[in-house]
Amino acid sequence: MSRFAYVNGRFVRHAVASVHIEDRGYQFADGVYEVIALAGGHFVDLDLHLVRLDRSLGELRIGRPMSDRALTMVLANLAKRNGIRDGSVYLQITRGVAPRDFPFPPDAVPQLVATARRARPVDPKALTDGVKAITIPDLRWARCDIKSVALLPAAMGKQAAREAGAYEAWQYDRDGFVTEGTSSNAWIVTRDGELVTRPPTHAILNGITRLVVIEIAKQAGLRFVERAFTVEEAHAAREAFVTSTTSFVMPITQIDDATIGNGKPGSFALQLREKYQGHMAEIAGRRT
């Protein structure tokens, strides 16, 4: 756990960090967030995260509490104060504190909080055997492209996955098409070797790791397409995996009761994970 958190201009002890009871993030989920990985003391794909943060804030018409340069300095300082070189930082920006009323308050000041944590060790068995996913109906709102703090459906889905002994839950829309995981993007490899993930519409969050893996796949010459795929197609896939800031590229070898491929991590997932780890190693090796 973090020793220090950042709360609206101050570094404070994590145990006593707090926000106002009428913060709109608490009362209306009126805020956005980002999770940024750290490798060797360097932020991974920071520029892409900042671009997405700006987009999310713009879509909700929430002001920036500080410039990108100042925010980067705050997050770097937070990681340093917590002694974290490999891990992640979490930042959350809400519209601010105001008397509880649904319309946007005209004078609210955006609130910024941030925490940091060390990377959790990856279970070697997950990489050698792959992990299980389940499928659940997508109960979320219609603007999943905004990285909003309204994560109750995701929390419910993650709990369902845990109770089923699964690593992740893949959500599907009313037409039976997979949207994304509760905290990850969903990928399959078809029987004829086509790498597939859903296009970045309002139905999914355009993951930063997703964007980087797409570029890696293109550079590797893999057959790649962005399109929707059904739960049934996922069950019949040759491979499946998820991508996220904390999972990187994680092979899935079971979805619901269906064994994926031969029940072992496939060549696409392993190749993409290796290349993504190389991407992170290159960042970690940069001089401060």
Q: Which two tokens stand for residue 31?
A: 């805020």
Contact present, 75 and 84 (Cβ < 8 Å): no
Q: Mark out the alpha helices in 91-239 (DSSP H runs).
A: 124-129, 152-163, 208-219, 231-235
Q: What are phi and psi of 160, to 5 degrees?
A: -60, -40
Distance of alpha carbon 24 from alpha carbon 9, whole angstroms: 18
Q: Which two tokens stand for residue 258?
A: 């269906």
Distance of alpha carbon 24 from alpha carbon 250, whole angstroms: 35
Q: State which amino acid sits at residue 47.
A: D
Q: Mark out the alpha helices in the chain (DSSP H runs).
A: 24-28, 46-60, 68-81, 124-129, 152-163, 208-219, 231-235, 267-284
Of the residues 80, 125, 132, 147, only one is catalytic, namely 147
Distance of alpha carbon 259 from alpha carbon 275, whole angstroms: 25
Specify whether 147 is catalytic: yes
Distance of alpha carbon 197 from alpha carbon 268, whole angstroms: 13
Q: Please compute, for residue 14, the number of CA atoms within 13 A of its CA located in the half-sphere on the CB side.
A: 12
DSSP string, 184-227: SEEEEE-TTS-EEE---STTS---HHHHHHHHHHHHTT--EEE-
* Close Cβ partners of 55 (under 8 Å, ≥ 6 residues apart): 146
Residues noted as catalytic? 147
